Structure 1
């Protein structure tokens, strides 16, 4: 019952914020529709509705083409005001408003009812995007990943590959959904890609790494994008007294083939060789010294 009340609270909180957009921080994008009003001498000189082109331009009365994409509304007002003041009016005032948002797009995949790309009409947060995807599946995992400024993603497989090689923002779903900690309901940026893994034990290797041998806490650990062999050993409590850190092995299974990667973590510690990035499902074995 407690979890149900928390979820109801989160739903209504998300719904209440659905129309809110922080226009002071919103950056104009292609296909947005803007209203541009120009005033001078206390009189409205011109008001037009313009579309931001795919090249990021708008056509402004008196001055012609102006780059809008990537600017905030205040920055665009300044960009228009300068030429107007220089060539046409004394102390002109410019007011720009967004009439329609068309550049706020997000991609969500994984354990949601309707994965895919969504176009929003205002700034949004994690819960609002999940609501647009009609909610989470019962077998969702405890962590969601947010990829930012990554392009060329069109399928869930693309997303899985991308989180292995790119930095991600992690959303703790246990804290957010089960405990109602709204600090984990992060604000999304247009273009963000959200991936919510399933907690299916059959697919556990997609999210886990295994650290074995002469470490203080051998076991199974959550994979984190960007994790290295040394970081995994530190996560497992560090090395035991008789660990042979010069002969560490990473066992990796990909496409039905097993690969063994040898790494000298003593040289990594000393900065003599770079650490090795690991992948989900990797088994890291730290052997015992021969002495």
Structure 2
């Protein structure tokens, strides 16, 4: 049986830990130097705004930039002839109707005339594509070409770009790093993936480019947050990019979701969407991005919780919301 003196010691220790943890959670710069932010992004266009134009196309990117987006989010793969292209899918069945992998195709297979016209091996996008994060959403457009990453860099030299490295491929990571360095965009780029191994390779390849939290690291941050340890732990990443779990409910048929699944979604949303967590991270200079939100009530929930930015498929809708949001 624990003696009264031992109990007092344990309780005082736990009390001191709780008070210190709470204090540092509110004022993290007492222990950690605030990260220097090279840019701030509130309005982020997912795949360039996949609900208003065909995703990941130059037309989508131009429209989003013209709407005043703070950041373009896009996805990268590498072709057989080692060109970095902007595409969400590695297999093009969904987006082009042709069951072929980007990695098995060359970007160009030849030229006509004196180099005036390149013959593309990559197939064009379909004229209409479903919007992944909007039930019943459909986008269409005339620009069906899969662009090169360097085209995006050249067209938008002053726009921050969020790059999702879609496959664990050392050459892809190296090529993206070289392009970022070539266009002197280290201060305007963030990269990574949900997979821890990819983020680690990105950071090792070029530590001058800030990185996203992987899923593994997001879960670790949550564990540290709920045990009170987060304020004591140094953080390398600068961008906490997370989904809003509750949006799953609108994407699926309500009758297809069981009560247990609804409970798990509610629990995940409750655990992840925490203002105290967002405020702590932003106080340390870490930007918090919530994806992919396409409704005004979702935008409001994210910003009310203290999110730095929202990622959307509808740049126009988010712009209008931000104009009225206070």
TM-score in terms of structure 1 length: 0.23
TM-score in terms of structure 2 length: 0.21
Q: Which has the higher strand share?
A: 1
Bigger radius of gyration among the two: 1
